[in-house]
């Protein structure tokens, strides 16, 4: 089972490009579920879900039984590295409807570049596993100190799925891995914009402002095929969301891997991304 989709869906600059004019609220999620089998929830990186959100999202994708969500773990747990029992419980309760419904494919613990492979940090991963025992956890790390056979074995032994990355190769980053350490394959595509990758002061989204070219998409397709050969279920998430680029690249990768996938696309998307013209339904 291959699931490709975008990171997030609530972006102002998608209106009129990805979404037809007037499309609002959870109708946008229903709209995307006609094209993709997964969408990443990124709001959970900033705050727990309110009790009303997950049930509304489940209703929005009720007509797409194969659709799944992935979600990011709260940054309090990953970037501040503080696990407070009350906050853990609040976070778990917000996602529980998705988990109970079988719609939560992965809960992603995304750590920053500064999170290196140390004994202390490996121990902290055990604390996270203990805090979320019923959730399917995946680990995203960005520093190359984690790129070793020893780490792979550690993740297998401790029950962590691994999130492979496509990211700019600057400083000492994780390379283009193709690891499967559990029951699924996972690839997150951040773009390859080197010039602002470590700049956060002005526009924090600029680092993800990137549109993969045809040759780069073929490279991502090859990595995805390798993951599919190792795991029964594979997730590919495009995080290059500015201006709808994640949607365009997601559709292009889907077409490379599943040539019969030819959705009907809105005129705004075709105007913004002329390369999509060859894969849309007649």
Q: Of all helices (H) and strands (E), which one includes residue 218?
A: helix 214-230
Distance separating alpha carbons of residues 128 and 22, to the nearest angstrom: 41
HSE-up of residue 237 (Cα within 13 Å, Cβ side): 29
Burial 252-275 (b: 16+ CB within 10 A, else e): bbbbbbeeebeeebbebbeebbee
Taking the CA atoms of the chain, what radius of gyration do you get in angstroms?
18
Alpha carbon distance 18, 16 (integer Å): 6
CA–CA separation, 22 and 282 (whole Å): 24
- Per-residue pLDDT 10s for the chain (282 aa) are 999 999 999 999 999 999 998 899 999 999 999 999 999 999 999 999 999 999 999 999 999 999 999 999 999 999 999 999 999 999 999 999 999 999 999 999 999 999 999 999 999 999 999 999 999 999 999 999 999 999 999 999 999 999 999 998 888 888 899 999 999 999 999 999 988 767 766 667 788 999 999 999 999 999 999 999 999 999 999 999 999 999 999 999 999 999 988 888 988 999 999 999 988 765
Query: From CA 5, how far away is CA 7, in angstroms rounded?
Result: 7
How far is Cα 152 from Cα 18, in angstroms, rounded to an integer? Answer: 38
Domain boundaries, the chain: 2-278
- Distance of alpha carbon 216 from its chain centroid, rounded? 18
The architecture in CATH of the region 2-278 reads Alpha-Beta Barrel (3.20)
pLDDT value at residue 196? 77
DSSP string, 53-96: HHHHHHHHTTT-TT-EEEEEPPHHHHTS----HHHHHHHHHHHH
Angle CA 78–202–76, to nearest 5: 15
| The 38-41 sheet, strands edge to edge | 38-41, 68-72, 104-110, 137-140, 161-162
Q: Are strands 234-238 and 2-6 parallel, antiparallel or unpaired?
A: parallel
Q: How far is CA 140 from CA 72, 125, 186, 195, in A?
A: 10, 11, 10, 22
pLDDT at 203: 65
Tell me which residue of 65, 139, 57 sits closest to 98, measured CA to CA. Answer: 57
């Amino acid at each position: 089972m291959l699931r490709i989709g975008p990171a997030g869906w609530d972006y102002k600059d998608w209106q009129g490009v990805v979404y037809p004019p007037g499309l609002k609220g959870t109708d946008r999620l229903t709209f995307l579920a006609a094209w993709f089998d997964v969408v990443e929830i990124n709001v959970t990186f900033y705050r727990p879900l309110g009790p009303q959100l997950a049930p509304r999202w489940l209703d929005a994708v009720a007509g797409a039984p194969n659709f799944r969500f992935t979600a990011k773990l709260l940054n309090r747990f990953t970037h501040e590295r503080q696990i407070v029992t009350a906050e853990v419980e609040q976070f778990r309760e917000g996602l529980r409807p998705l988990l109970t419904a079988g719609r939560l494919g992965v809960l992603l613990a995304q750590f920053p570049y500064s999170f290196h492979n140390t004994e202390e940090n490996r121990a902290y991963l055990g604390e996270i596993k203990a805090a979320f025992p019923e959730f399917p956890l995946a680990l995203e790390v960005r520093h190359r100190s984690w790129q070793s056979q020893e780490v792979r074995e550690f993740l297998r032994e401790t029950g962590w799925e691994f999130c492979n990355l496509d990211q700019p190769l600057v400083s000492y980053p994780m390379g283009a891995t193709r690891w499967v350490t559990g029951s699924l394959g996972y690839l997150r595509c951040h773009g390859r914009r080197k010039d602002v990758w470590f700049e956060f002061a002005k526009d924090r989204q600029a680092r993800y402002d990137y549109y993969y070219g045809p040759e780069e998409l073929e490279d991502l397709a090859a990595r995805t095929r390798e993951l599919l050969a190792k795991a029964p279920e594979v997730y590919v998430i495009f995080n290059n969301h500015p201006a709808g680029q994640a949607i365009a690249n997601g559709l292009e990768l889907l077409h490379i891997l599943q040539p019969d996938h030819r959705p009907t696309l809105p005129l705004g998307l075709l105007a913004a991304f002329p390369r999509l013209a060859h894969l849309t339904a007649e």
